[in-house]
Amino acid sequence: MLIDIPSDLEAALVALTLPTWKLDGPALATSTMEEYRTVLTASPRFAETAATLRRALTGEGGGYAVLRLGNLAQALGADDERFLRLAMAFAAEVATPFSPFPRWPLWKDIGVKVDKDPGKSSGIGYNAFHMDLVNGTLPPDYTTLLCIRPDPLGGGPSILSDAHAAVARLSEDHRAVLAESGYHYGTFYDLHGVGEEYKPFPILDGGPGEGFVRFTAKMLERCELGQEHADAARALAEELVQGQVSFMLQTGDYLIVNQRRFLHGREALQSGQENVPAADRRLLLQLFLRTASGTGSAA
Q: How many CB atoms lie within 10 A of CB 201?
A: 20
Cα-Cα end-to-end distance for the chain = 19
Q: Residue 6: is it exposed, middle or buried by C-beta count within 10 angstroms (0-12/13-18/19+)?
A: middle
- Number of separate domains in the chain: 1
Q: Residue 205: is it exposed, middle or buried by C-beta count within 10 angstroms (0-12/13-18/19+)?
A: buried
**pLDDT confidence tier of residue 294, bands split at 50, 70 and 90:** low
Q: Determine the average pLDDT of the residues in 148-160.
A: 96
Query: What does the angle CA 110 – CA 113 – CA 117 come to, to the nearest 5 degrees?
Result: 100
Which among 222, 205, 220 is positioned nearest to 259, based on CA atoms? 205
CATH number at residue 158: 3.60.130.10
**pLDDT confidence tier of residue 277, bands split at 50, 70 and 90:** very high
What is the overall mean pLDDT for the chain?
93
**pLDDT confidence tier of residue 298, bands split at 50, 70 and 90:** low
pLDDT for the residue numbered 297: 58
Q: Tell me how far apart the alpha carbons of residues 253 and 255 are, in angstroms, rounded to a whole number.
A: 6
Q: Model-level pTM greater than 0.75? A: yes
Domain residue limits at 163:
2-290
Q: Does some domain include residue 133? A: yes
Which segment of 20-24, 82-86, 219-223 scores lowest on mean pLDDT? Answer: 219-223
| Per-residue model confidence as pLDDT tens digits over 17-36 | 999 999 998 999 999 999 99
Q: Determine the average pLDDT of the residues in 93-112.
A: 93
Q: Does some domain include residue 296? A: no
Q: Does some domain include residue 299? A: no
Residue 56 in this model has a pLDDT that exceeds 60: yes
Residue 240 in this model has a pLDDT that exceeds 70: yes
Q: Tell me how far apart the alpha carbons of residues 189 and 271 are, in angstroms, rounded to a whole number.
A: 33
Residue 98 CA neighbour count, 13 Å, CB half: 22
Q: Does some domain include residue 82? A: yes
Where residue 195 falls (left for φ over 0; alpha for ψ -120 to 50; beta otherwise) is: left
